[in-house]
Amino acid sequence: MASLQSSFTVLATTPKNPPTSAFRKPSRVRVSCNAGDSGGGRVDRRNMLLGLGGLYGASSLVSGRRAEADPLQPPDLSTCDAEGTTTTDRNTGKVIHIDADCCPPYNGTDPESFYVPPPVDTLRRRPAAHRMTPEYLADYKLAIQMMKDLDTTDPDDPRGFAQQANIHCAYCNGPYDQRGFPTLDIQIHNSWIFFPFHRWYLYFFERICGELIGKPDFALPYWNWDHPDGMYLPTPFAESYSPLYDCNRDQTHVGDALVDLSFAPGVSVDANLNQMQQEMIVQGDSAINFMGQEYSAGSPPPGAPRGGTSEQGSHGGIHVWCGNPKNTLRENMGNFYSAARDPIFYCHHSNVDRMWTIWNALHPTAEPILDLDFLDAAFLFYDEQKNLVKVRVRDCLDNTALGYEYEFSSISPWLNYIPPQREVPANVQQLAQTAQAAAQAFPATLTDTIRVVVAKPSKGKADEVLVIEGIVTDNSLLIGFDIYVNDDENTTDGPVIAERAGGFTQVPHRSRTSETPSDLTIKLKELYNNINIADDDDIVVVTLVPRFNGDAVTIGGIKIVPRVPTVPRFNGDAVTIGGIKIVPRVPTA
C-alpha cells in the first residue's frame, strides 16, 4: 500500500470573488406538488417535441476515450444549456422537455485558483437524523426554511433551495458539456467521482445552512439507514407544513415502512444488513469496486454498472424508495434531475458520505485511487458567501480537513451479519437441464427471466468473478434486476437467500450522449461458500430476474473468470491529500 508520510501544511486563503448581483437569469423549478398529488406529477407536456426514438439506434456516435486522458474539467457555465434538460418517453419515443432550467446564475467570471477550506478549530459533528434533539431540529428546519425563502425573495441567490437543487440537475442531466468536448455531457454519477462530487456539494450546502442561521458550526444530519434503528423515513421529514416535507415522495413510505436498500424481493432488516455487508465488504473490496470505475475528460457518460457497489446499492435503493411511483419520472428522489428538490436528499447523501468514511476505516490497507484523472477532477460550486468556487477531488478526500465528522453509530449490525447458508449443494447437473447455454442465450433483452448455464474456469469454491457483459439500458427509466446462482427452488420471491448473488438498480437520469455498454462484475468466492457449491462442479446456473423495466435492458453475455485484484493506476509523483503526503510505494525486491 502507499506509505503515508505526515507533512502537514494548510494554507488558508479567502476566495477572491466578491458577491455579485449581476447574475445571468433566474431559474425555474416547476414539478409542483399539485401535479404529484393529482397522480400526474408530470413534466410540462406542452413542450413535448418529437424525438429521435429509442436510445439504442443512436449508439456509438462517440468513440471511446482518448488514449491520453485528462481529469474532468469544471463546467463552462457560459454554455450551460437548459434546453439540454430533456428525457425520452420510451413508450412514445418522444422527447420530454423537463420543465426546469437548472443552469446556475453566472456573472461571467470564473475563479482562478482552487478553493482552500478554512482552517479547522473544532470539527462540526453530523448527527444521526433519528437522534436529532429538538433544539437541533429547530435550527435545521430554520436553515432549510431560510433557503426556501430565498427562492421567492431573491431567486438569483445561489444559496436558495431551488438553486441548490438545480446544482444536482445541472451536473447529471445534460446541461453541461465537458470543456473541449461539446458532444459529451458531464455526468457525476456512475464513476469514481460520485463520492467526491457529492461530498463537496454537501459541504457547501452545510456551510450555507450555517451562514443563514448564523451558526457556522451547524452540521447536516445523516439518515442512518444502515442501522435497524434508522431504517425508516426520519419522522420530521414526514410532517406536512415542515420545510423538511416534500409531497413528491412515495407517501406510503412513512411511519414503520422499512427502507429497501437492495430492491430485492422481501424487504427486511436482514436483507438490508446483507446488502450493506455486500457493498461495504464483500463486493466493495477495493477502492475502485466500492467507489466506481474511471471517468476522465473525453469519456462518454458512464453507464450505471460502472458505479461503485455503494452507489449502485443502498444509494440507489433509497432514491427509488423515496421517489413517488405515481409521477411519470418518479420525481422527486426517484430521478436524478429532481432528486435534490427533496430535503431528504441531503440527509440521505450525508449517510452516503458517511459510508465513504467508514469504508476507508474498514479497509486501511486498500490501495487508494491516486490516478491524477481522479485527484484533479474539478467542479464549480457557490459557497456560503455567494462566491463561485472551484474545487478539486484531491482536496476533499479527508473529511476532517473539511471540518466535519459523524456522530458515532454502531455499524456492527451489518459488520457481523451472517448471510444465509445452505448445507446440501444444489444438484447443478439436474438444474442445468432447465437452462440454456450462455452462448446461445445472449445477446438478449431481459423481458423475462433468463436462466443460463455458465462454465467455471476452476472447479468448486474458487476465487472467481461473474461478469455480466455489455449491459445497455434506457437510462431514463428505473431498471432493476436480480442475479441468482444455482437457485434450484426458484425462491426468487422470498426473503434474502444464499443464492442471491446481487442486484442491479439504475436510478432514472438522462445523458445526452449514449452511455457506453458496460459490464457488471460480482465476486463469487463468498457466495460459493454460502451455497456450499460442490467441489467438482465446473458449471453454475445463473438466473437473471427482471424487477423493473426488464425490456429496457439488453445484456451482451455472461461469463465467469478468475478474479484479478483491482489495483488502481498510479501515474503521478507524490501527492498531498488533506495535508498528508502520499508517495508511491517502492516495490520490495
Q: Does 512 bind ligand C2O (CB under 6 A)?
A: no
* Catalytic annotation, pick one of 130, 315, 348, 509: 315
Question: Pick from 126, 207, 249, 315: which binds ligand C2O (CB under 6 A)?
Answer: 315
Omega before residue 272 within 30° of 0, cis: no
Number of residues that bind ligand C2O (CB under 6 A): 9
Question: Which positions from 196 through 225 interact with ligand C2O, judged by CB under 6 A?
Answer: 198
The residues that bridge with 548 in the sheet, in sequence order, are 480
Minimum distance, C-beta of residue 264 to ligand C2O, in the bound complex (Å): 20
Q: Are 448 and 550 in contact (CB under 8 A)?
A: yes
Question: Pick from 65, 159, 306, 319: which binds ligand C2O (CB under 6 A)?
Answer: 319
Task: Indicate the residue among 347 and 435 with the shorter CB distance to ligand C2O.
Answer: 347
Minimum distance, C-beta of residue 526 to ligand C2O, in the bound complex (Å): 27
| Exposure of 217 in the CB half-sphere (CA atoms within 13 A) | 8
Minimum distance, C-beta of residue 311 to ligand C2O, in the bound complex (Å): 8
Task: Indicate the residue among 171 and 481 with the shorter CB distance to ligand C2O.
Answer: 171
Task: List CB contacts of 191: < 8 A, sequence separation 6 or more.
Answer: 292, 293, 294, 295, 302, 306, 307
Q: Does 341 bind ligand C2O (CB under 6 A)?
A: no
Question: Which positions from 220 through 279 interact with ligand C2O, judged by CB under 6 A?
Answer: none
| 348 is annotated as an active-site residue | no
* Catalytic annotation, pick one of 97, 130, 198, 227: 198
* Catalytic annotation, pick one of 97, 130, 189, 227: 189
Task: Indicate the residue among 213 and 347 with the shorter CB distance to ligand C2O.
Answer: 347
What are the start-end ranges of the E strands in 296-403? 378-382, 388-392
Task: Indicate the residue among 130 and 189 with the shorter CB distance to ligand C2O.
Answer: 189
| 315 is annotated as an active-site residue | yes
* Catalytic annotation, pick one of 168, 227, 253, 348: 168
* Catalytic annotation, pick one of 204, 263, 290, 336: 336
Question: Pick from 336, 404, 417, 481: which binds ligand C2O (CB under 6 A)?
Answer: 336
The residues that bridge with 142 in the sheet, in sequence order, are none
CA 270 to chain centre: 22
* Exposure string for 108-131, b = 16+ CB within 10 A, e = fewer: eeebeeebbbeeeeeebebbbbbe
Minimum distance, C-beta of residue 560 to ligand C2O, in the bound complex (Å): 31
Q: Does 339 bind ligand C2O (CB under 6 A)?
A: yes
The residues that bridge with 88 in the sheet, in sequence order, are 95
Question: Which positions from 150 through 169 interact with ligand C2O, judged by CB under 6 A?
Answer: 168
Q: What three-state secondary structure class fits 263?
A: coil
Which has the closest alpha carbon to 523: 553, 566, 487, 489? Answer: 566
* Catalytic annotation, pick one of 97, 227, 253, 319: 319
Stated length of the chain? 589
Residue with cell 415522495: 249
| 168 is annotated as an active-site residue | yes
Minimum distance, C-beta of residue 370 to ligand C2O, in the bound complex (Å): 24
Residue with cell 491516486: 370
Task: Indicate the residue among 264 and 322 with the shorter CB distance to ligand C2O.
Answer: 322
Rounded Cα distance between 8 and 409, Å, is 29
Omega before residue 443 within 30° of 0, cis: yes
Minimum distance, C-beta of residue 448 to ligand C2O, in the bound complex (Å): 30
Question: Which positions from 348 through 387 interact with ligand C2O, judged by CB under 6 A?
Answer: 349
Q: What share of the chain is helix, strand, coil (3-state, %, to 5)?
A: 30, 20, 55
CA 225 to chain centre: 15
Minimum distance, C-beta of residue 197 to ligand C2O, in the bound complex (Å): 7
Task: Indicate the residue among 315 and 394 with the shorter CB distance to ligand C2O.
Answer: 315
| 253 is annotated as an active-site residue | no
Minimum distance, C-beta of residue 168 to ligand C2O, in the bound complex (Å): 5
152-161: long-range contacts, CB 8 A cutoff, minimum separation 24:
155/26, 155/27, 156/21, 156/23, 156/25, 156/26, 156/105, 157/386, 158/23, 158/104, 158/105, 158/382, 158/386, 159/208, 159/211, 159/212, 159/382, 159/384, 159/386
Question: Pick from 189, 227, 330, 392: which binds ligand C2O (CB under 6 A)?
Answer: 189
Residues near ligand C2O (CB under 6 A):
168, 172, 189, 198, 315, 319, 336, 339, 349
Active-site residues, by number, are 168, 189, 198, 315, 319, 336, 349
